[in-house]
Amino acid sequence: MTSIIDPNTIGKPVRPRRHVRTLTGYLPEVDASGKEKWPKGEEKVWKSGMRSLDNNVNSITKSFVNHVQTSLARQPYNLDDLGAYQAAALSVRDNLLVNWNETQLQYTRKAPKRAYYLSLEFLMGRTLDNALLNLGLKDEYKTSVKSLGFSIEDILDKERDAALGNGGLGRLAACYLDSSASQELPVWGYGLRYKYGIFQQLISPEGNQLEAPDPWLEHQNPWELPRLDVTYGVRFYGHADRLDDGSGRAIWAGGQEVLAVAYDVMIPGYGTKTTNNLRLWESKSKRGFDLNSFNAGNYEKAVESSNSASAITSVLYPNDHTLVTLNMFGKELRLKQQYFWTAASLADILRRFKNMGKPLTELPDFVAIQLNDTHPTLAIPELMRILIDEEDLTWNAAWKIVTNTFFYTNHTVLPEALEKWAVPLVEHVLPRHMQIIYDIVILIYLFLAVEKKFPGDRDRLARMSLIEEGQPKQVRMAHLACIGSRKVNGVAELHSDLVRTTILKDFVEFEGFSKFGNVTNGITPRRWLDQCNPELSALISKTLKLQKGIWLKDLYKLEGLLKFTENKTFRREWAAIKQRNKERLAHHVLTTLGLTVNTNAMFDVQIKRLHEYKRQTLNILGVIHRYLTLKKMTPAERKKVNSRVVFFAGKAAPAYYIAKLTIRLIVNVARIINDDPETKDYLTLYFLPDYSVSLAEILIPASDISQHISTAGTEASGTSNMKFCLNGGLLLGTVDGANIEIAEEVGESNVFFFGHLTPAVEDLRYQHLYHPIPIEENCPALAHVLNQVSAGLFGDGGVYEPLLNTIRQGDYYLLSDDFDSYIEALAMVDDAYRDRDEWIKKSIRTTAKACMGKFSSDRAINEYAESYWNIEATPINGNK
């Protein structure tokens, strides 16, 4: 292991310090009283170097041209939009670097307690526009690049989304990093630097989803800083031999060792100099190229080690909730990803902590580690391994440190979605960690503590065990995360209550209710209003007579919009902005798919990762029902119907057959109904491929209604519902996740609810399983729709039988039970939309109430900081 000396890792602020040379200059000498003394002449050099850059238009232009010539080695006559983007990004990065260095130096000086957010995904989206927003330099850069013959819009469009995630889990992590920096909280993120991300989604002529690599790193990524000298060795396989001295220690040796190499991404706060860090790990071979094998003529063996190591961070495996569809190689690779990332992150965290000169027993006083779902749970046995095997702590002392350092956020109550790993696989890949997990079961937790509190309750012991019996046995990662963490939280009030009363009920009874809390998810209003909907942001600022910097960091001020709902001029401006956002979306569809969109229709949007519990299938079957109804109408009757344009976007896991069939059905239904001369003026349908943050930024501001229609009790929270509401889109959904809390804020008259409630779900599933009612009796309208699909109305009906049979046989997600209610809710939406003036009032109320401060990620991150991590804001000198 090698490491660097930088402002994050050096200095002991509680003790006198001599002059220290760092990568970014000198740290001054500090005497016992804390007074700084600089070397002769160094203070002026250092402080002038850390001063904010001059950011008038002329200086920005000079910086841009300088990067064109010196960083890109190009000249104006051969500079295209991509080169202009790279030059602009490098120029903006100069500003971030100044603030980043000041931030890290301040953290080193003040030595605050820090929080570290471990997430397997960080769905960051494009960075340039967000950086300009947070730095307050949008207008200056727009003017500068225009003077050089470029359009800021064209330049922004050249940036590719960072392919570091798939769905809501990764976007939540990105929002939390933004809010942490904006709230001046010392929070770092840790993730993996995927070379190809998840995949680029293509649609075949038959409507099938095809997956292609997403080479998002094919051009220089100006937002990352390679830290090639920040590396850690990570071991796999081998053997773990226990010492027979009674200490519980073991020696883990042999196997494969790869290097984790750090890449840093700066995370700027809004309206502040605070610039935090996202550290991503790339895997590389420790041995590199095997020259001996090459010389012997065995080329495959010569590169085998390098290829095996680099594969760890090549591709993000999408989480299809069960992992059962992955082959053994895929499962092993995903396990290696999780350990590689957590091991490197812990090594980095401990290095930084040790350089403070504190004893390890004080680790929980200076470090809080948040586990975003179960993916980073291996950090718990890894920290135990380090403390016992490498630091010679006793088992009890190590466990006390571990259980006061980690915090666990649960993101699902679906039993099949709770991550498990086969014991033989863990023993093979991580032999020492499997020993530690068994030791936790035997020495600390179950057979001592649980048995003592609930003597003779063998069923409880089996339910709570970290090991699930079976062939093969499985390690229950949610249980390990629960018992190894100081606090556990869900992400919406309903979800957190279900966590406490269902999947973790035994642990609540054992450890007490106070350990299990709730932090409702939130979104950053900077990206999800000001950046994606700038006209609406400007209207809000003008109407409230507030600078946007004020209300963007205090969304409770949006409640001031309520008194303007009766103002006709304000409503007219609001509606006009919505219409222009629709036209922007229509232009995107025309330029990317060559299809024309009716912008005078209602825009109905569902954009989510494809999964059965999210029920895109219910939506498309509802579209078919609407189409069949329109076909039965006379021309005169159709003229009374609201025109509706339905948009879908989202990716299905490559091995998720049913989800991919749903995409195929959507695409082929669209082909039929969009070309039907009788109905196309009243109903059209579009599936937009390759869903991303950037595409969401176009879709969300354009929506009139958005659908969040998961089976009750299955969606932990959802955050896209918050994004739509913040942009004035009304919500159609089930009584599930954060939908409930949004309705509580905005009032149910402004939300369209349908479907059975959570308490009824299990009874209905039991009925489907043991007392099934033919779908023709249970829901004739849905049965007719299914029969039309089977009959080939939208192509070969036989192709869709596996999908249709999930409803006809078992119907685990209760589509047949909720379909009639869903159609009624859609009719209520139609009725409400006919009164456009009242609809705009609902839209304004939704923005003002449904997504005010409660659903800001600023509020959520402050809850974590105060009630979980116990960290405080650490302002940077000169912050605005």
Active-site positions read 411, 608-609, 614, 719, 723
- Quote the CA–CA distance of 309 and 287 in Å, as a whole number: 10
Q: Count helices and strands (H / E) in the chain.
A: 37, 26
- Quote the CA–CA distance of 540 and 543 in Å, as a whole number: 5
DSSP H or E run through 619: helix 616-632
Q: How far is CA 778 from the centre of its chain?
A: 38
The secondary structure of residue 876, as a DSSP letter, is: P
Q: How far is CA 312 from the centre of its chain?
A: 20
SS3 per residue for 274-339: CEEEEEEEEEEECCCCCHHHHHCCCHHHHHHHHHHHHHHHCCCCCCCCCCCCCCHHHHHHHHHHHH
**Integer CA distances (angstroms), 586 to 233, 569, 817, in order:** 50, 26, 35
Q: How many CB atoms lie within 10 A of CB 759?
A: 9
- The length of the chain in residues reads 880
Nearest to 859 by CA among 654, 554, 539: 554
- Quote the CA–CA distance of 439 and 381 in Å, as a whole number: 10
Nearest to 479 by CA among 461, 491, 497, 455: 461
Nearest to 679 by CA among 721, 629, 714, 727: 629
Nearest to 782 by CA among 741, 821, 736: 821
Q: How far is CA 33 from the centre of its chain?
A: 44
- Quote the CA–CA distance of 329 and 308 in Å, as a whole number: 12
Would you list the DSSP string of 188-249? EEEEE--SS-S-EEEE-TTS-EEEE---TTSS--TTEEEEEEEEEEEEESSEEEE-SSSS--
Q: Do residues 280 and 262 make contact, with C-beta atoms less than 8 angstroms apart? A: yes
DSSP H or E run through 173: helix 168-182
Amino acid of residue 152:
I
Q: Do residues 722 and 703 make contact, with C-beta atoms less than 8 angstroms apart? A: no
